[in-house]
């Protein structure tokens, strides 16, 4: 059922039905003598393999399923080509004229679907208003986070102080929250401890059948007791529930001005946070050789320097399609690291480590001359210094404006933490400072 839902979400319903009919007609008919037989046979195979492989697992965007749409349109055209003959078999007069009318109606339907306005859904406006009023009532002057489980069915129009995080679902075609998958999945990419240290309130928007209970699954996973603050039940017995979790950590409620005061008065835990010291990356280094094997030549524009204490992390990003990559570091009176890449590339702090179960504040000053992205991540290790897993601490969208970003965090269930910086686009950073909040 999920597969069928996803297939018809990718394909406009008429094209979806016609493409399936095209497959049946193709294998039922006798077209081997036709010159278009083998190209169409290839398209049918592509559609079948792509649909079986991609539709059940696509989770965040339809672009991964584009081959299904393209092949669906081709097969729909095949059905339209056969339609006059099919109509004549059923002794329907003016078969060619009927086919033309049907084709015109299909084109009009496509245009109308693309141009139709978004349906106004009152409950989406109510959710935004409930969060806004709740923040005012609690005197929150910091950003809050909204975790979305399932598909709310429309655009959520929030203020800038509400950061929306769509939690990956197991099946892209399923609009309901999948508690058994999403609750454990959440801590493989994000981290609830980190979110609670960064946001005074976490809001959970859950879309589920009316008799399901996402809250019970959350309580079992995280030992929290989310408070239900809004509920809307649709005529189709779909429940839209909004829960709130208050952070128990003082750091999540700390005002930005207080963070700035702490940064000015506490020592930097990183020995080279201002990038004054640098080292030259050797072309004989195993990392450089590994990148070269991937088709990434770091030394096309001469020597490459990195801030002392930071090293390239080939395990995060650095795919072949990120090339060419430019790394430029100026260290002295003006300290700045500029990295340009098409896709994600990363560095990590290989000399300075942090301990778990402690609160830290990271300050990063960054900008981008174009649309860029900087992700602050944490790589966790056990007592044997063996890598466990990465966590995203903050994803920052940059656009031609230098800003300082303050990121509090705390991580549990590990021994050591190394910070990582993940770059995409044209990004410049000139300072990374880490202080203890203990």
Where residue 384 falls among pLDDT bands split at 50, 70, 90? very high
Q: What is the pLDDT of residue 61?
A: 45
Q: Is the pLDDT of residue 172 over 80?
A: no
Write down the mean pLDDT value for the chain. 84
Q: Residue 377: beta bridge partners?
A: 392, 420
263 and 363 in contact (C-beta within 8 Å)?
Answer: yes
State pLDDT tens for residues 83-103.
888 888 788 888 888 888 888
Where residue 60 falls among pLDDT bands split at 50, 70, 90? very low
Residue 298 sits in the same domain as residue 418: yes
Residue 222 sits in the same domain as residue 263: no
Residue 170 sits in the same domain as residue 232: yes
State pLDDT tens for residues 251-278.
999 888 889 898 888 999 999 988 989 9
**Helix pair angle (37-54, 66-89), 10° resolution:** 130
Q: Is the pLDDT of residue 137 over 60?
A: yes
How many structural domains does the chain have?
3
Residue 161 sits in the same domain as residue 87: no
Q: Is the pLDDT of residue 6 over 70?
A: no
Residue 82 sits in the same domain as residue 192: no
Domain boundary among 252, 281, 303: 252
More confident residue, 187 or 323: 323
Domain boundary among 196, 230, 252: 252
Residue 202 sits in the same domain as residue 237: yes
Residue 219, judged by CB atoms within 10 A of its CB (0-12, 13-18, 19+), counts as middle
Range of the domain at 16: 2-115
Q: What is the pLDDT of residue 243?
A: 95
Comparing CA positions, the residue from 204, 248, 212 lying closest to residue 228 is 204
What 294-302 contacts at long range (C-beta under 8 Å, 24+ apart), as own/partner pairs, is 294/318, 294/319, 294/320, 294/323, 295/320, 295/323, 296/320, 296/322, 296/323, 296/324, 296/325, 297/323, 297/324, 298/325, 298/327, 300/324, 301/326
132 and 165 in contact (C-beta within 8 Å)?
Answer: no
Mean pLDDT lowest among 65-79, 116-130, 198-212, 230-244: 65-79
Where residue 21 falls among pLDDT bands split at 50, 70, 90? confident
CA-to-CA distance for 177 and 238, rounded, in angstroms? 11
Residue 420 sits in the same domain as residue 273: yes
The string of DSSP codes covering 166-212 is EPP-S-TT--S--HHHHHHHHHHHS-HHHHHHH-SEEEEEEEEETT-
State pLDDT tens for residues 23-53.
787 777 777 667 777 777 787 777 677 666 6
More confident residue, 242 or 58: 242
φ, ψ (nearest 5 deg) of residue 437? -100, 5
Residue 247 sits in the same domain as residue 269: no
Rounded mean pLDDT, 399-427 = 90
Residue 247 sits in the same domain as residue 277: no
Residue 55, judged by CB atoms within 10 A of its CB (0-12, 13-18, 19+), counts as buried
- Encoding tokens for residue 229? 């603050």
Domain boundary among 87, 115, 143: 115
CA-to-CA distance for 39 and 415, rounded, in angstroms? 57
- Which residues have a Cβ under 8 Å from the Cβ of 308 and sit 6 or more positions away? 271, 272, 277, 278, 279, 351
Rounded mean pLDDT, 19-26 = 78
pLDDT above 70: percentage of residues in the chain: 90
pTM flag (> 0.75): no
Rounded mean pLDDT, 232-257 = 90
The string of DSSP codes covering 300-346 is TTS--EEETTEEE-TTSS--GGG-S-EEEEE-SSS-EEEEEEEEEEE
Comparing CA positions, the residue from 157, 241, 248 lying closest to residue 201 is 248
Residue 272 sits in the same domain as residue 245: no
Q: In sequence order, what E strands does 37-156 have?
A: 144-149
Residue 271 sits in the same domain as residue 182: no
Residue 202 sits in the same domain as residue 314: no
Q: Is the pLDDT of residue 206 over 80?
A: yes
């Amino acid at each position: 059922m999920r597969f069928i839902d996803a297939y018809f979400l990718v394909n406009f319903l008429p094209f979806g039905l016609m493409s399936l009919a095209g497959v049946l007609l193709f294998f039922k008919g006798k077209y081997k003598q036709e010159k278009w037989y083998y190209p169409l046979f290839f398209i049918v195979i592509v559609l079948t393999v792509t649909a079986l492989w991609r539709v059940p697992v696509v989770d965040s965007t339809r672009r991964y399923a584009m081959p299904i749409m393209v092949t669906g349109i081709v097969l729909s055209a095949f059905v339209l080509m056969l339609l006059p003959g099919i109509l004549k078999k059923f002794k329907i007069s003016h078969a060619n004229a009927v086919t033309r009318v049907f084709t015109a109606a299909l084109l009009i339907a496509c245009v109308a679907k693309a141009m139709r306005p978004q349906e106004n859904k009152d409950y989406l406006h109510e959710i935004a208003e409930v969060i806004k009023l709740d923040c005012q009532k609690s005197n929150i002057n910091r950003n809050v986070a909204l975790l979305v489980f399932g598909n709310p069915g429309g655009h959520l129009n929030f203020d800038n102080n509400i950061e929306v995080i769509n939690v990956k679902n197991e099946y892209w075609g399923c609009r309901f929250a999948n508690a058994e998958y999403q609750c454990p999945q959440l801590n493989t990419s994000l981290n609830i401890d980190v979110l609670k240290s960064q946001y005074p309130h976490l809001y959970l928007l859950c879309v589920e059948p009316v008799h399901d209970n996402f809250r019970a699954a959350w309580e079992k996973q995280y030992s929290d007791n989310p408070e239900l603050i809004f509920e809307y039940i649709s005529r189709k017995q779909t429940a839209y529930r909004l829960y709130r979790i208050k952070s128990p950590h003082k750091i999540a409620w700390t005002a930005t001005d207080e963070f700035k005061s702490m940064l000015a008065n506490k020592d930097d835990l990183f020995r080279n946070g201002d990038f004054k010291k640098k080292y030259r990356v050797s072309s004989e280094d195993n990392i450089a050789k590994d990148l070269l094997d991937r088709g990434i030549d770091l030394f096309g524009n001469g020597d490459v320097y990195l801030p002392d204490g930071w090293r390239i992390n080939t395990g995060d990003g650095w795919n072949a399609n990120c090339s060419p990559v430019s790394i430029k570091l100026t260290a002295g009176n003006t300290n700045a690291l500029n990295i340009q890449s098409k896709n994600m590339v990363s560095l990590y702090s290989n000399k300075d480590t942090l301990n778990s179960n402690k609160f830290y504040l990271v300050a990063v000053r960054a900008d981008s001359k174009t649309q860029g992205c900087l992700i602050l991540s944490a790589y966790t290790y056990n007592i044997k210094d063996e890598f466990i897993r990465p966590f995203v601490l903050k994803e920052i969208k940059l656009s031609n404006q230098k800003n300082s970003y303050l990121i509090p965090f705390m991580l549990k269930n590990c021994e050591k933490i190394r910070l990582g910086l993940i770059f995409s686009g044209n990004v410049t950073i000139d300072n990374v400072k880490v202080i203890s909040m203990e």
